[in-house]
Chains A and B, each alone.
Chain A
């Protein structure tokens, strides 16, 4: 029998959070987030049950819906991986947004001159264009940082603004604008340059496969290669890395190039896999969402894929939710933020434990 006067509960810092603790924290965070979302749904005048059901049905209810969820997840996987690589090295690349634009624009620039060539020429050029465009644009921030000590947070954000206006200029009255069109967009691209669809009856395209393979490659890069080693070391103590004979300027540049290349791929999957034309609306927002996805995924490639699919499901299910219940689909962005907050809190809580001890 326990004498409850002699014991007390106390919070202690954990030295090594156990995996089980992490899973429990995740579950609790998810439950708490669901609770808060329910309150939001009620406030919006819908029954939480119906809203969640609609969300689920809209995102995974049919093969078509599931395909659409993965289509939405695809660019997020790329931008999430972009943030993951950079953030692990403690290089704060906030510029995935701009790099998505750069990838899409560079790919379009290369590809629209190749109209008429067969797919096995155009598609590789599109993919390479996305990689190079994103990498070059991030590389600009890298040069600014390593040559002129410009903080990458500032430079990448500035570059995000610049490229949006450059695209607008090119589309408005520039060489890329659609003849006779009213919208800021290019004409449709040559169908032979489009990323092939994976199934009939769904818009799921080759870009998703590319994203999954890329996540695997990034995982391999981070855990098994010398570059991954350097990224880990830079994230912990970049000075020691430098002192012991690693060229850290080059490392910073390389990490930004890789990060930018990943972001650039998000640009081409949207332009050549979904919209078949280049316009700002097709590629806006993925860079910033990628940061949230990367953090939710614990800067881990597998986590990034899972978090991206979750976000894709929310975005996709929102439409049906709005139709079936009165909940506005824009509420999804609030739900994303709630998820982030609860998960962050959950992970922080992992570092503590509740222990019963004898009272002094």
Chain B
């Protein structure tokens, strides 16, 4: 029996000036199939999905939906062709409520009327077990919740083909499991799904995988017939070791960061509740926790972006909380924020400029009153090769970087800046496995140089591989700080869910 593919891509090519982001790609997705796109950062996955969603016009090639050739000039046309998409970077309007975002953004518009839109959204939420308050402003939602809004929005259009570009990058493991349950229900209803993910565990759940490398299709394989290692080898061109427990630093020194009873209130409810923590020089302390349990607030207090309502932060014995981000940064503190495009990068500056963001007055980037373009250029070239950032060069505009490459620019800058303390909130989010391995090595190098590191990650693998101790956050509290050697995944998992364990040290 030969079914007609839901989606056929034939010889699709997309160029950005000299760069060939998609080079002669052909693939098929059958009805009810979960099809993964796998590839390193900058391999061209988002570009391909943008072509499928009418955001970019391919330079050559053909797209067929249910056997019919389609011309997708705009997302509106893609939606009418039955294609829905959740973007890697959200395209929601923060000042609109959930309903408004869903109804407005999908082109089906206000004609439907607010009440009907609302009831359809509620129907979708209850069918798939998504909990969202439709009247909340999107700006007030956590990144994970915004992801659900995007998903509801795509379902709302009645898509038969759904493209999910790294949807789980910002979801907690629990939320990701829920998403996969929904995905499986959808494929059961004969919907086709194209999923982009860097997480091998998720990729392995798909029906087929297409592997991209440097814009070319390496091949499409049936997932059940390949192993994880084979896929990574296809993707990177070499085999990559899974993260393993790294040896401890030879010695760790005096306490660098000391947090005492940190409390922060929002609407009179504590978002940080009496949190205490110490980090010594040459030590990595991990923070585990479901996102939205105070991690972002903790990091923002430490970086000087928010002022705690109670408690103390000491850096090398000196009180920190009266300082501005500028002063804190000047003390050798690097900060990798969790929302990279909001807090970490200036899209209109090029890579070279972004690499000195916040340091633009420093003598080493200046020549008299002027910015030393040559120094910026040299610095950028070093970073681009050291972090293998896929870009045309130092003057490539940051807004055109792929998600993972944008993160690498931030890492390069902050790792260079941090001499005393490095604050990393979700540093490996959205990175490919090769890049994650690289970040791990860099974090260990910083540690061995004597830097104190606070590392929050939703990937317990990251934390177990790198940290000496792991603190677990729940509802703004640090429930326990465990010695990694003695801790187990289960123990941490149950603390993350708020069950206090006896082993708390």
The answer to whether A and B come from one shared complex is: yes
Assess the B71–A240 pair: CB atoms within 8 A: no
Assess the B357–A241 pair: CB atoms within 8 A: yes
Is B342 an interface residue when CB atoms closer than 8 A count as contact?
A: yes
* Given A236-B348, A246-B326, also A226-B360 (CB < 8 A): yes
Which residues of A have CB within 8 Å of B349?
Answer: 229, 232-233, 236
| A220, B373: Cα distance in complex, Å | 13
User: Nearest B residue to A238 by beta-carbon distance?
Assistant: B346
Which residues of B have CB within 8 Å of A246?
Answer: 325-326, 357-358, 360
Assess the B73–A225 pair: CB atoms within 8 A: no
Cβ distance A300 to chain B, nearest Cβ, rounded Å: 15
Is A247 an interface residue when CB atoms closer than 8 A count as contact?
A: yes
Which residues of A have CB within 8 Å of B345?
Answer: 237, 240
B343 touches which one: A224, A243, A357 (CB < 8 A)? A243
Is B369 an interface residue when CB atoms closer than 8 A count as contact?
A: yes
B358 touches which one: A16, A237, A245, A357 (CB < 8 A)? A245
Q: What are the nearest 10 A-B pairs in CB distance?
A: A245-B329, A244-B358, A236-B348, A245-B358, A226-B360, A243-B343, A245-B326, A233-B346, A244-B357, A224-B370
**A residues adjacent to B (C-beta < 8 A):** 10, 12, 15-16, 220, 224-226, 228-230, 232-233, 235-237, 239-247, 357, 360
User: Nearest A residue to B398 by beta-carbon distance?
Assistant: A236
Assess the B348–A233 pair: CB atoms within 8 A: yes
User: Nearest B residue to A360 by beta-carbon distance?
Assistant: B71
| A244, B325: Cα distance in complex, Å | 7
| A280, B306: Cα distance in complex, Å | 47
Cβ distance A218 to chain B, nearest Cβ, rounded Å: 14
Assess the A226–B366 pair: CB atoms within 8 A: yes
Cβ distance A15 to chain B, nearest Cβ, rounded Å: 7
Assess the A245–B330 pair: CB atoms within 8 A: yes
Which residues of A have CB within 8 Å of B20?
Answer: none
| A226, B370: Cα distance in complex, Å | 7
A241 touches which one: B69, B358, B361, B369 (CB < 8 A)? B358
A247 touches which one: B17, B324, B347 (CB < 8 A)? B324
Which residue among A16, A235, A246 has the maximum number of chain B CB atoms within 10 Å of its CB? Answer: A246
* Given A235-B348, A245-B325, also A240-B360 (CB < 8 A): no
Cβ distance A234 to chain B, nearest Cβ, rounded Å: 9
| A357, B344: Cα distance in complex, Å | 40
Is B27 an interface residue when CB atoms closer than 8 A count as contact?
A: no
Which residues of B have CB within 8 Å of A226?
Answer: 360-361, 365-366, 371
* Given A12-B57, A243-B325, also A236-B69 (CB < 8 A): no
Assess the B358–A12 pair: CB atoms within 8 A: no
Apart from A232-B346, A246-B357: 16 A-B pairs, beta carbons within 8 A: A12-B57, A225-B369, A225-B371, A226-B360, A226-B365, A232-B348, A233-B353, A237-B342, A240-B344, A240-B345, A240-B357, A241-B357, A241-B358, A243-B343, A245-B326, A246-B325
| A232, B56: Cα distance in complex, Å | 27
Is B328 an interface residue when CB atoms closer than 8 A count as contact?
A: yes
Is B335 an interface residue when CB atoms closer than 8 A count as contact?
A: yes
Residues 335-378 of B, flagged 1 when their CB comes within 8 A of A and 0 if not, give: 10100001111111100010001111100011001110100000
Of the A-B pairs whose beta carbons lie under 8 Å apart in the complex, a sample of 30, sorted by A's number, is A16-B17, A224-B373, A226-B361, A226-B366, A232-B346, A232-B348, A233-B346, A233-B349, A233-B357, A236-B349, A237-B347, A239-B342, A240-B342, A240-B344, A240-B345, A241-B357, A241-B358, A242-B325, A243-B303, A243-B305, A243-B335, A243-B344, A244-B329, A244-B357, A244-B413, A245-B329, A245-B358, A246-B358, A247-B324, A360-B69
Which residues of B have CB within 8 Å of A245?
Answer: 325-326, 328-330, 358-359
Which residues of A have CB within 8 Å of B326?
Answer: 245-247
| A236, B347: Cα distance in complex, Å | 7
User: Nearest A residue to B343 by beta-carbon distance?
Assistant: A243
Assess the B370–A225 pair: CB atoms within 8 A: yes
Assess the A10–B303 pair: CB atoms within 8 A: no
Assess the B361–A15 pair: CB atoms within 8 A: no
Which residues of A have CB within 8 Å of B344?
Answer: 240, 243-244
A229 touches which one: B16, B305, B353, B413 (CB < 8 A)? B353
Assess the B337–A243 pair: CB atoms within 8 A: yes
| A246, B353: Cα distance in complex, Å | 14
Is B240 an interface residue when CB atoms closer than 8 A count as contact?
A: no
Which residues of A have CB within 8 Å of B303?
Answer: 243
Cβ distance A166 to chain B, nearest Cβ, rounded Å: 36
Which residues of A have CB within 8 Å of B348?
Answer: 232-233, 235-237
Cβ distance B30 to chain A, nearest Cβ, rounded Å: 23
User: Nearest A residue to B366 by beta-carbon distance?
Assistant: A226
User: Nearest B residue to A234 by beta-carbon distance?
Assistant: B346
| A230, B359: Cα distance in complex, Å | 10
Which residues of B have CB within 8 Å of A242?
Answer: 305, 325
Which residues of A have CB within 8 Å of B361?
Answer: 226
Which residues of A have CB within 8 Å of B365?
Answer: 226
Cβ distance A339 to chain B, nearest Cβ, rounded Å: 27
Assess the A10–B73 pair: CB atoms within 8 A: yes
User: Would you list which residues of chain B between 370 and 422 have a CB under 8 Å from chain A?
Assistant: 370-371, 373, 413
Assess the B357–A357 pair: CB atoms within 8 A: no
User: Nearest A residue to B68 by beta-carbon distance?
Assistant: A360
| A262, B373: Cα distance in complex, Å | 27
| A36, B73: Cα distance in complex, Å | 33
| A247, B327: Cα distance in complex, Å | 9
| A230, B366: Cα distance in complex, Å | 14
User: Nearest A residue to B16 by beta-carbon distance?
Assistant: A15
Which residues of A have CB within 8 Å of B358?
Answer: 241, 244-246
* Given A224-B371, A233-B357, A246-B358, also A241-B335 (CB < 8 A): no
Which residues of B have CB within 8 Å of A224?
Answer: 370-371, 373
| A229, B372: Cα distance in complex, Å | 12
Assess the A240–B343 pair: CB atoms within 8 A: yes
Is B70 an interface residue when CB atoms closer than 8 A count as contact?
A: yes
Assess the B360–A230 pair: CB atoms within 8 A: yes
Which residues of A have CB within 8 Å of B359?
Answer: 245
User: Would you list which residues of chain B between 453 and 495 have a CB under 8 Å from chain A?
Assistant: none
User: Nearest B residue to A236 by beta-carbon distance?
Assistant: B348
| A243, B348: Cα distance in complex, Å | 16
| A16, B18: Cα distance in complex, Å | 13
Assess the B71–A241 pair: CB atoms within 8 A: no
Assess the A239–B325 pair: CB atoms within 8 A: no
Which residues of B have CB within 8 Å of A243?
Answer: 303, 305, 325, 335, 337, 343-344
| A236, B326: Cα distance in complex, Å | 19
User: Nearest A residue to B376 by beta-carbon distance?
Assistant: A229
Residues 40-68 of B, flagged 1 when their CB comes within 8 A of A and 0 if not, give: 00000000000000001100000000000
Cβ distance A235 to chain B, nearest Cβ, rounded Å: 7
